[in-house]
């Protein structure tokens, strides 16, 4: 007899204004089963599980746990029904301890005194049972990303979750840590847990799940048992159309051009102290030439932010040297902009643009003080709008609505905003037709749908073909393998030697990302196979 | 060496500090500061800046005093002051938590509203009076408390002192306190554990504002015996500064309040003694400036190391993740 | 209850919001008037008449509005950059003292310069005093992260005490009996009256010009763009190369200068000397006015006239019926909160579960 499904979603629909995030979705989950929710960014996976957990109220449909309908919009009822969620962006308080974070909400609020000792014992017992080691008294802000995820999982387990939802859990883990997570999941499943695993990575989904459900543009488009699943079919279901893969044309043969290709960016034994106990960057060396793409791979939190800030002019070196386009620049963004460095920041809404300002103001935000856009302190808004108009056309920035250039930047979708930022970076006044000589791109395609990703990557490659050197910092290995000429790996603040893409095997990359010995460790002198003659 | 008037002055100052009346004054001056600072602390720990304190203290002072003037008991007056504070706190909570308006703007608006309402109500109740009508304030505790200095204080001071460890216990030893601290650090974490962010934040603001109301009532029911315009005179703002100085901890809040009261009492005594510091004739206004200047200095000194509750002043909208 | 952003706010809502806010304010205040035992309709009529009903009323209102426009502008420009300047009151008094120092001490004849130049110097001195006073908290904020709300507030008290000390001592007018007041500025430096037999003075023109200039500054200049960018998102502004710290201290200088100017204009246009009670909270009212105007310089003028009208009208009304003048402050406070709520509701829809 087939056991009744532990979880059942029937006809879930959710709209945000005009956008239909979930369209009549129905699915089931059984005990002891891992169900993968597969879909690209924006397909509606996070929305669906947020509804399941009670963060959102669905516009239509019901959620049933063990045959009983859950009252919508209350995380309390979801928790009581045994649903636990490990969020993509951890819901932890950095200033408090692990024990505090886990204990929250587990005791009735009116109890006059917390029973901390019992809670601590329970936490350690649960941690031991599933192999998730933690220190209950550690301050969460001091933990590594992998450790914080463990705390998130423990939060759910200590509340007796019987259905566990994991939202893109491997986004922040090294390949080895991911394997460790999968092992934990297998243990949980063996003990009767039902798991919903959200991901956009096909390989992982094939490795860990029993059944796969594919979402696309809010609709459920495919359901398959993993054993019978075909990767290509699933990929097509995810995307819905054939997207021509971005081909890395080796137009510029870097070897032959070596004597002529100048070094546009050179770091030698750079060190940055950073805020926490550990230094942010240690002994980092790299050389980037015009016309090549050098990718920095690595899992989040290993120093990429410090490296990006350093190379965007936001941070100063504590040791070592940095030369950009042949000279050293002070840690003032304006100097970098004036020197002609194109920078694409990681966070397009908090750092890359100002939501309240209009499109055209954002378009000239880096160069409003130049003679072209201002005179005697007055803005030459006609010229600025002209420039913005050309940028919007050239980079296909859409979605401004009736106000056009005067619409506030926050009305743009992620993809269009990124196109605007890219356009701004690549078409600074200085370059005219030539284009920038150095492009720093930090996670440029994060959170974009496949079409936008391909478009952006193509534009980066075009700029490269016109002679720019591109430093790409990315956590997406697929992107790195698509775009890079050479790859270096960042781990714990150190940078490995940069080797040509062909020289890396996936296992080596994973090992380097995890900082394991045996991978090409950071060398004292920069190892560069393209030495000047 | 020290001879002449300079020496006499410093000896006088020492006598001053050694004398009991001085420390009695310090504790009395500190009481509204302790209550007000604990009130702000409660609000800010939950993530809400409450700049309404200055107005709430005025309103509490008036409401408590009016209750007693109309024939109510002193503790009834305190209760009414607390409820008045709580009411304004509820408004502030609704504006900043439910409507997610700017906490600065809402707080300042509430200060204006509360103080103007109190002034209006006072003038309506007493249209033409030469000197403000008085009531019989709290008596000191010498009748039943043997401890020195403390027995010269009113019961409200004892309440304030007891609230310090009580609030400490609440924040660090109870589930409610943990939830309050969490909601000030990461409201998403609180929602994810099934608790109500709005409920906790508004509750904290209401409770904190009630304390602020009581702080105001102390002025009319214990320190003085009538309601004057401008009686709060910036004490509410000082409490906001003291919370930062106290790193949002009740024990340090007590310390900060006592320190501030020490300087305030000192300048009062120095003024009364008519003496200058080390013999220089200083206008009395300089003494009055000292406590405020001290508060600013304290803020500057502590600012670098301030461990703000991470959710403070960030509006949180449910469903916007 | 939950808030959900509206995709587009229909135009009629933008008009309805302030109207509803005003209606609510009047309704609430009517209750208070009734409590005071006065006939509501008549009280409101007297209020409006007293503020706007006659040439005299308008003259009084505009006189009162003059310093309010300036302090409102001071707050508006600072808040635009997210610099919460609550010290307008102190900056106003500092400006007033500086004006008297330049224009009054030594009978105004110590400086052998033409009157016109002395006048300008007096005004500039006032601006400088206010500017420097705000610069300190602003630098403490940008370099040490000290919250400027509390520091500017506490400075108000310190400045007022300083004024008191000055009025008792170095700047005391020896001829004045009783109330402490400062030496007066030279007659020639006083501002002319705009309308004969009224108190409206050319300071109003100065205030209006400042409002126009500030409006142009915010929308058409690079500095204005910098202010708006830094106020909206300082991190993104820094990334884009804007000199954030420089913007903050420049805004501080501008804001403080405007508030200081308010003090000088009051001195030169009204009594000619400084007293402790020359400002019934103009600095604080400036905050309310700036927020009512949604930080828009031209809106500040409208809001200032509204608030001034309420204050003047309440004075006049309280002479005829038994309603305390504090009703004006209540009306202003309620209208501020009502405006905030109405504007919020225009942008967000309320969803009950």
Q: Which residues of C touch B256 (CB under 8 A)?
A: none
Q: Please check whether residue A332 touches C, CB under 8 A.
A: yes
Name residues 116-175 of chain A within 8 A of B (Cβ). Answer: 155
Q: How far is CA C188 from the centre of its chain?
A: 26
What Cα–Cα distance (Å) separates residue A172 from each residue in A305, C87, C167?
A: 14, 47, 66
What ipTM does the predicted assembly reach? 0.87
Place of tokens 């009735």: A108
**Average pLDDT value over all residues in chain C:** 88
Compute the Cα dihedral for B198, B200, B201, B205 and give only its sign. positive
Q: Which of C1, C144, C340 sits opposite B300 (nearest CB)?
A: C144
Q: Please check whether residue A57 touches C, CB under 8 A.
A: yes
**pLDDT digits 0-9 by tens, B38-76:** 999 999 999 999 999 999 999 999 999 999 999 889 999
Place of tokens 């309050």: B180
**Which one is predicted more confidently, A493 or C129?**
C129
**CATH 3.40.50.300 segments of chain A:** 7-239, 249-340+433-533
Do the beta carbons of residue A296 and residue A265 sit within 8 Å? no
**Which one is predicted more confidently, C28 or C192?**
C28
CATH number given to A7-239: 3.40.50.300
> Cα(B64)–Cα(B84) distance, rounded to whole angstroms?
9
Chain C: residue nearest B318 by CA? C2
Q: Please check whether residue B181 touches A, CB under 8 A.
A: yes
**pLDDT digits 0-9 by tens, C287-300:** 989 988 889 999 99
Compute the Cα dihedral for B23, B25, B27, B33 and give only its sign. negative
Q: Could you tell me which of A518, A522, A519, A468 has the C-alpha nearest to residue A493?
A: A522
Query: Stretch C34-56: mean pLDDT, rounded?
Result: 88
> Cα(C47)–Cα(C57) distance, rounded to whole angstroms?
10
Q: Which residues of A touch C224 (CB under 8 A)?
A: 379
What Cα–Cα distance (Å) separates residue C28 from each residue in A198, A522, B124, C40, C327?
A: 53, 72, 16, 11, 11
Do the beta carbons of residue C272 and residue C184 sit within 8 Å? yes
Q: Strand pairing of A486-491 and A494-495?
A: antiparallel
Q: Please check whether residue C352 touches A, CB under 8 A.
A: no
Chains in touch with C (3+ beta-carbon pairs under 8 Å) read: A, B
SS3 C185: coil
CB-side neighbour CA atoms (13 Å) of A250 = 11
The domain segmentation of chain B, as residue ranges, is: 5-127+152-303
Do the beta carbons of residue B213 and residue B82 sit within 8 Å? yes
Chain C: residue nearest B102 by CA? C340
Do the beta carbons of residue A55 and residue B321 sit within 8 Å? yes
CB-side neighbour CA atoms (13 Å) of C332 = 33
Looking at residue A519, what is its pLDDT? Answer: 45
**pLDDT digits 0-9 by tens, B144-162:** 888 887 878 888 999 999 9
Q: Got the DSSP string for A127-154?
A: HHHHT----TTSBGGGS-HHHHHHHHHH
List, in sequence order, every beta strand (DSSP E) within A332-434: 341-344, 374-375, 378-379
Residues 6+ apart with CB under 8 A from B274: none
> Cα(C169)–Cα(C89) distance, rounded to whole angstroms?
22
> Cα(A77)–Cα(A82) distance, rounded to whole angstroms?
9
SS3 A25: strand
Residues 6+ apart with CB under 8 A from A16: none
The domain segmentation of chain C, as residue ranges, is: 70-290
pLDDT by position in tens, chain A (length 533):
566 788 888 888 888 766 788 888 999 998 889 999 987 766 788 888 888 888 888 888 889 888 888 888 888 889 989 999 998 878 899 889 999 999 998 888 888 888 999 999 999 998 888 878 889 999 998 887 778 888 999 999 888 889 999 988 887 777 777 888 888 898 889 888 899 999 877 778 888 899 999 888 788 888 888 888 887 777 777 766 555 555 555 444 444 344 457 888 999 999 998 776 667 898 999 999 988 999 998 877 778 889 999 999 999 999 999 999 888 999 999 999 988 899 999 989 889 999 889 999 999 999 998 888 999 999 999 999 999 999 998 888 887 777 788 888 888 888 889 999 999 998 865 555 567 889 999 999 887 877 788 888 998 998 888 888 999 999 887 788 889 999 999 888 889 888 898 888 777 777 777 666 544 443 333 333 333 33
Rounded to a whole number of angstroms, the distance between the first and last alpha carbons of chain B is 70
Q: Which residues of B touch A77 (CB under 8 A)?
A: 194
pLDDT of B126 strictly over 50: yes
Residues above pLDDT 70, as percent of chain B: 89
Indicate the pTM of the whole model: 0.85
**Which one is predicted more confidently, B93 or B21?**
B93
Per CATH, the architecture of B5-127+152-303 is what? Orthogonal Bundle (1.10)
**Which one is predicted more confidently, B310 or A137?**
A137
Q: How far is CA B19 from the centre of its chain?
A: 26
Do the beta carbons of residue C148 and residue C133 sit within 8 Å? no
Superfamily of domain A249-340+433-533: P-loop containing nucleotide triphosphate hydrolases (3.40.50.300)
The structure tokens listed for B311 are 């959710």
**pLDDT digits 0-9 by tens, B241-292:** 899 888 899 999 999 999 889 888 887 777 776 655 555 567 778 878 888 8
pLDDT of B94 strictly over 90: yes
> Cα(C247)–Cα(C238) distance, rounded to whole angstroms?
11
Q: Which residues of B touch A148 (CB under 8 A)?
A: none
Helices within chain C (DSSP H only): 11-35, 40-52, 55-80, 88-103, 115-144, 148-168, 203-220, 222-232, 234-239, 244-269, 282-292, 297-320, 327-347
Which pLDDT band holds residue C346 (cuts at 50, 70, 90)? confident
pLDDT of C249 strictly over 90: yes
Chain A: residue nearest B177 by CA? A109
**Which one is predicted more confidently, C260 or A303?**
C260
What Cα–Cα distance (Å) separates residue C348 from each residue in C3, C13, C329?
A: 6, 11, 29
Looking at residue A530, what is its pLDDT? Answer: 35
Looking at residue B150, what is its pLDDT? Answer: 81
Chain B: residue nearest A74 by CA? B194
Q: Please check whether residue A56 touches B, CB under 8 A.
A: yes
**pLDDT digits 0-9 by tens, A510-524:** 777 766 654 444 333
Q: Which of A56, A91, A109 sits opposite B192 (nearest CB)?
A: A91
């Amino acid at each position: 007899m087939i056991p009744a499904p532990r979880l059942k979603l029937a006809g879930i629909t959710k709209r945000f204004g005009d956008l239909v995030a979930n369209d009549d979705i129905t699915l089931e989950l059984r005990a002891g089963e891992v169900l993968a929710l597969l879909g690209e960014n924006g397909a509606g996976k996070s929305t669906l599980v947020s509804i399941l957990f009670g963060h959102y109220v669905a516009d239509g449909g019901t959620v049933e746990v063990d045959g009983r309908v859950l009252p919508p919009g209350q995380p309390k009822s979801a928790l009581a029904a045994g649903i636990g969620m490990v969020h993509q962006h951890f819901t932890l308080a950095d200033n408090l301890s692990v024990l505090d974070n886990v204990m929250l909400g587990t005791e009735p609020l009116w109890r006059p005194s917390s029973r901390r000792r019992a809670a601590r014992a329970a936490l350690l017992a649960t941690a031991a049972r599933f192999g998730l080691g933690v220190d209950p008294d550690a301050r969460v802000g001091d933990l590594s990303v992998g450790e914080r995820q463990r705390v998130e999982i423990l939060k759910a387990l200590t509340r007796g979750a019987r259905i566990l939802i994991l939202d893109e859990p491997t986004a922040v883990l090294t390949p080895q840590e991911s394997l460790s997570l999968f092992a934990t999941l297998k243990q949980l499943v063996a003990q009767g847990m039902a798991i919903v695993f959200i991901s956009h990575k096909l390989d992982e989904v094939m490795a860990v799940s029993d059944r796969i459900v594919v979402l696309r543009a809010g609709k459920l488009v495919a359901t398959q048992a993993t054993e019978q699943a075909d990767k290509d079919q699933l990929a097509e279901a995810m995307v819905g159309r054939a997207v021509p893969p971005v081909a890395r044309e080796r137009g510029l043969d870097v070897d032959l051009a070596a004597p002529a290709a100048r070094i546009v960016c050179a770091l030698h034994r750079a060190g940055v102290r950073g805020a926490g106990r550990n230094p942010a960057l240690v002994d980092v060396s790299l050389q980037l030439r015009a016309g090549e793409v050098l990718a920095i791979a690595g899992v989040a939190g290993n120093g990429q932010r410090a490296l990006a800030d350093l190379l965007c002019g936001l941070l100063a070196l504590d040791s070592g040297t940095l030369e950009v386009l042949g000279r050293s620049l002070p840690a003032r963004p304006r100097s970098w902009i004036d020197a002609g460095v194109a920078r694409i920041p990681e966070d397009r809404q908090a750092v890359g643009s100002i939501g309240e300002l209009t499109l055209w103001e954002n378009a000239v935000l880096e160069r409003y003080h130049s003679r072209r856009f201002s005179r005697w302190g007055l803005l030459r808004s006609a010229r600025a709008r002209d420039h913005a108009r050309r940028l919007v056309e050239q980079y296909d920035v859409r979605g401004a609505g009736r106000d056009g250039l005067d619409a506030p930047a926050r009305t743009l979708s992620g993809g269009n905003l990124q196109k605007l930022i890219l356009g701004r970076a690549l078409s600074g006044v200085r370059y005219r037709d030539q284009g920038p000589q150095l492009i720093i791109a930090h996670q440029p395609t994060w959170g974009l749908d496949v079409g936008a990703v391909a478009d952006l990557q193509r534009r980066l490659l075009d700029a490269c073909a016109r002679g720019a050197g591109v430093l790409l910092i990315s956590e997406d290995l697929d992107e790195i393998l698509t775009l890079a000429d050479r790859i270096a790996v960042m781990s714990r603040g150190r940078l490995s030697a940069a080797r040509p893409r062909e020289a890396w095997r996936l296992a080596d990359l994973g090992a380097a990302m995890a900082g394991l010995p045996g991978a090409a460790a950071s060398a004292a002198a920069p190892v560069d196979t393209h030495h000047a003659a | 060496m020290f001879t002449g008037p300079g020496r006499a002055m410093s000896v006088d100052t020492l006598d001053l500090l050694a004398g009991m009346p001085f420390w009695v004054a310090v504790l009395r001056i500190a009481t509204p500061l302790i209550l007000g600072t604990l009130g702000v602390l409660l609000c800010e720990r939950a993530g809400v800046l409450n700049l309404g304190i200055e107005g709430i203290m005025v309103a509490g002072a008036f409401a408590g005093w009016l209750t007693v003037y109309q024939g109510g008991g002193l503790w009834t007056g305190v209760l009414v002051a607390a409820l008045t504070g709580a009411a304004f706190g509820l408004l502030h909570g609704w504006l900043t938590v439910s409507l997610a308006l700017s906490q600065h703007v809402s707080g300042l608006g509430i200060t204006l509203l509360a103080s103007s309402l109190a002034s209006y109500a006072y003038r309506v109740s007493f249209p033409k009076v030469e000197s403000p009508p008085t009531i019989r304030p709290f008596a000191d505790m010498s009748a039943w408390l043997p401890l020195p200095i403390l027995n010269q204080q009113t019961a409200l001071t004892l309440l304030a002192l007891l609230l310090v460890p009580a609030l400490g216990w609440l924040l660090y030893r109870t589930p409610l306190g943990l939830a309050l601290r969490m909601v000030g650090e990461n409201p998403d974490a609180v929602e994810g554990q099934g608790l109500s962010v709005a409920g906790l934040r508004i509750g904290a603001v209401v409770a904190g504002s009630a304390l602020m109301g009581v702080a105001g009532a102390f002025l009319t029911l214990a320190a003085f015996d009538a309601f004057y315009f401008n009686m709060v005179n910036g004490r509410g703002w000082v409490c906001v500064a003291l919370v930062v100085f106290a790193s949002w901890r009740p024990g340090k809040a007590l310390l900060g309040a006592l320190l501030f009261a020490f300087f305030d009492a000192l300048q009062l005594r120095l003024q009364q003694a008519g003496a200058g510091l080390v013999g220089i004739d200083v206008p009395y206004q300089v003494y009055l400036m000292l406590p405020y200047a001290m508060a600013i200095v304290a803020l500057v000194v502590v600012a670098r190391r301030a461990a703000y509750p991470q959710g403070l002043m960030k509006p949180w909208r449910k469903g916007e993740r | 209850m939950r808030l959900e952003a509206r995709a587009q706010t229909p135009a009629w809502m933008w008009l309805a919001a302030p109207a509803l806010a005003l209606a609510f304010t009047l309704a609430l205040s009517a209750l208070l008037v009734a409590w005071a035992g006065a006939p509501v309709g008549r009280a409101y009529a007297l209020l409006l008449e007293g503020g706007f009903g006659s040439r005299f009323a308008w003259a009084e209102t505009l006189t009162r509005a003059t310093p309010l426009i300036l302090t409102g502008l001071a707050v508006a420009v600072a808040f635009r950059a997210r610099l919460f300047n609550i010290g307008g009151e102190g900056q106003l008094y500092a400006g007033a003292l500086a004006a008297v120092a330049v224009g009054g001490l030594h009978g105004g004849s110590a400086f052998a310069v033409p009157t016109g130049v002395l006048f300008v110097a007096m005004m500039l001195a006032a601006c400088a005093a206010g500017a420097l006073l705000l610069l300190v908290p602003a630098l403490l904020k940008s370099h040490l992260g000290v919250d400027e709300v509390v520091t500017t507030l506490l400075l108000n008290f310190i400045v007022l005490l300083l004024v008191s000390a000055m009025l008792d001592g170095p700047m005391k007018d020896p001829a004045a009996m009783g109330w402490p007041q400062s030496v007066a500025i030279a007659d020639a430096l006083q501002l002319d009256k705009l309308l004969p037999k009224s108190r409206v003075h050319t300071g109003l023109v100065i205030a209006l010009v400042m409002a126009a200039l500030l409006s142009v500054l915010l929308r058409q200049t690079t500095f204005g763009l910098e202010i708006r960018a830094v106020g909206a998102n300082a991190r993104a502004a820094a990334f884009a190369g804007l000199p954030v710290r420089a913007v903050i201290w420049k805004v501080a200088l501008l804001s403080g200068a405007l508030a200081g100017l308010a003090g000088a204009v009051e001195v030169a246009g009204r009594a000619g000397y400084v007293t402790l009670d020359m400002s019934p909270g103009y600095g604080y009212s400036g905050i309310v006015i700036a927020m009512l105007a949604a930080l828009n310089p031209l809106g500040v003028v409208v809001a200032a006239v509204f608030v001034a009208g309420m204050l003047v009208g309440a004075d006049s009304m309280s002479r005829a019926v038994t309603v305390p003048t504090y009703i004006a402050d209540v009306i202003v406070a309620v209208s501020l909160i009502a405006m905030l709520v109405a504007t919020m509701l225009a942008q967000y829809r309320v969803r009950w579960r």
